[in-house]
């Protein structure tokens, strides 16, 4: 695997830590900013909305620019956004800083995916994607719990400073190790009009819906996992970083396993992971008052949710193979549509007074919907001649060709 893919995974570690660390610092942040937990949770949605809007816009805007230069610029803006968040005097300023950071993050994901996917053969799509998503998993294991620890002992702003420092390290890695690339010329020149044609394919929209629903199911619960653990399960706030770390460990194991099996069993991996997430979320809703069960189920949710990530992302590149840049942008946007929808729905049920266990029921329903969409996509694949979706091992005659892999979400 090219070293540049690992460098991009390191960058994803910084991006992912920023995106999800609010789950561990939501309560101290809400107290300091004098806002409610649901309103503080909107900062998660703010980041997600920025990702949804930024991914396709920045992918289109930078389509003909040198990709390495674009990655450097976006990572620098992202780091500055973390500094702005650390210094934010009000909730409104913090909200804006999250949106700006998200725009840069979205562009980096979309362009970074295009860079990474050009370096691997078609038979390594899910494996390469697993490395990038692995950065997100490690963020959940180390970055998010560390952010929670910093938030409890040094103030929530310290978590933003830490991510700014990680972004600087990632920037050095991109400058030093990601190869220079030049936009194509003549017949090979990238064309936005040509890439936009992928949206005429029903399979692309089904892939988008799968990713969005799966992400919404997970992050409806994950965004409010900290208060669920303390207010419902009765755990001390000091336990939160460790439980978040268990979620991340499950995510890393799930990503590693998904990356190994998804290339050969694409739909099987999606069915297994999403259906298992449905069950885990439903059980968590029933036993959320039991601290031991809640901890164990947080680990299992990380595993089941990220088991599907390699398959979901690789599938998007399979069905949108003719538009690698917009495929990466669409993957990022769809993951963050879910990451916007999930916390919003979770906030609604909390605001209605139904309690934190109700958020797990919301997640279970969303996951069940994702299973249904997967069934529709599988049926369409079986009945549509010439489908671009790869459900089994890659054909031998394409094993040596350049291919695309996915980044993101989920996902995200």
* Alpha-carbon distances, residue 144 vs 50, 64, 151, 209, 246 (angstroms): 20, 35, 10, 27, 11
Across 1-10, 74-83, 138-147, 296-305, least confident range: 138-147
pLDDT at 76: 94
Place of tokens 């030093």: 176
Instruction: Kindly report, residue by residue over 16-54, the tens digit of the pLDDT.
Output: 888 778 877 888 888 888 888 778 877 877 787 788 888
What mean pLDDT comes out for the span 207-213? 91
Looking at the predicted structure, is the pLDDT value of residue 353 above 50? yes
Q: At 263, is the secondary structure helix, strand, or coil?
A: coil
What mean pLDDT comes out for the span 55-60? 78
Looking at the predicted structure, is the pLDDT value of residue 386 above 50? no
**Radius of gyration of the CA atoms of the chain, in A:** 20
Q: CA 17 to CA 14: how far, in whole Å?
A: 5
Across 128-132, 147-151, 152-156, least confident range: 128-132
- Supply the CATH classification number for the domain 3-180+192-403: 1.20.1250.20
| Of residues 146 and 263, more confidently modeled | 146
Could you state, in order of their start, the residue ranges of all structural domains in the chain? 3-180+192-403
Partner residues linked to 77 by β-bridges: none
Highest mean pLDDT among 52-66, 81-95, 260-274: 81-95
pLDDT at 352: 85
Q: CA 75 to CA 335: how far, in whole Å?
A: 20
C-beta separation of 157 from 151 below 8 A: no
pLDDT at 83: 94
Of the chain, the end-to-end C-alpha distance in Å amounts to 22
What mean pLDDT comes out for the span 302-313? 85
What mean pLDDT comes out for the span 126-139? 69
pLDDT at 324: 63
Q: CA 330 to CA 275: how far, in whole Å?
A: 23
pLDDT at 412: 39
User: pLDDT band for position 385 (50/70/90)?
Assistant: very low
Structure tokens at 277: 């997430």
Looking at the predicted structure, is the pLDDT value of residue 406 above 60? no
CB count in 10 Å sphere of residue 296: 18
What mean pLDDT comes out for the span 308-321? 77
User: pLDDT band for position 286 (50/70/90)?
Assistant: very high
User: pLDDT band for position 284 (50/70/90)?
Assistant: very high
pLDDT at 187: 53
% of the chain beyond a pLDDT of 70: 83
What mean pLDDT comes out for the span 125-150? 71
């Amino acid at each position: 695997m090219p070293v540049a893919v690992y460098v991009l995974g390191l960058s994803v570690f910084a991006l992912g830590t920023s995106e999800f660390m609010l789950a561990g610092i939501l309560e101290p942040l809400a107290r300091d900013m004098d806002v409610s937990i649901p309103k503080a949770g909107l900062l998660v949605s703010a980041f997600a909305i920025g990702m949804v809007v930024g991914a396709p816009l920045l992918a289109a805007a930078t389509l003909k620019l040198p990709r390495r230069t674009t990655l450097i610029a976006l990572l620098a803006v992202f780091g500055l956004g973390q500094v702005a968040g650390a210094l934010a005097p009000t909730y409104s300023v913090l909200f804006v800083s999250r949106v700006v950071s998200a725009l840069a993050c979205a562009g980096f994901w979309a362009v970074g995916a295009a860079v990474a996917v050009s370096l691997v053969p078609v038979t390594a799509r899910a494996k390469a994607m697993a490395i990038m998503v692995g950065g997100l998993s490690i963020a959940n294991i180390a970055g998010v719990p560390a952010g929670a620890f910093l938030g409890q002992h040094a103030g929530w702003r310290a978590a933003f400073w830490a991510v700014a420092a990680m972004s600087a390290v990632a920037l050095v890695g991109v400058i030093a190790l990601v190869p220079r690339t030049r936009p194509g010329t003549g017949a090979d020149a990238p064309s936005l009009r040509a890439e936009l044609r992928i949206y005429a394919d029903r399979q692309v929209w089904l892939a988008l819906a799968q990713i969005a629903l799966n992400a919404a199911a997970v992050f409806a619960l994950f965004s409010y996992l900290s208060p669920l653990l303390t207010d419902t399960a009765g755990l001390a706030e000091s336990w939160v970083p460790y439980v978040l770390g268990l979620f991340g460990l499950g995510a890393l194991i799930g990503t590693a396993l998904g990356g190994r099996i998804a290339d050969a069993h694409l739909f099987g991996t999606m069915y297994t992971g999403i259906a298992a997430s449905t069950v885990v979320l439903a059980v968590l809703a029933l036993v959320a008052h039991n601290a031991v069960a809640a901890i164990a189920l947080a680990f299992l949710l990380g595993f089941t949710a990220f088991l599907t990530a390699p398959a979901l992302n690789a599938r998007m590149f399979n069905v949108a193979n003719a538009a690698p840049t917009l495929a990466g942008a669409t993957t990022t946007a769809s993951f963050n549509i879910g990451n916007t929808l999930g916390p919003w729905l979770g906030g609604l049920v909390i605001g209605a007074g139904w309690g934190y266990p109700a958020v797990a029921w919301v997640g279970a329903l969303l996951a069940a919907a994702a299973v249904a969409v997967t069934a529709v996509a599988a049926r369409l694949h079986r009945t549509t001649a010439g489908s671009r979706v790869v459900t089994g091992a890659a054909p031998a005659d394409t094993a040596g060709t350049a291919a695309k892999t996915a980044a993101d979400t989920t996902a995200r």
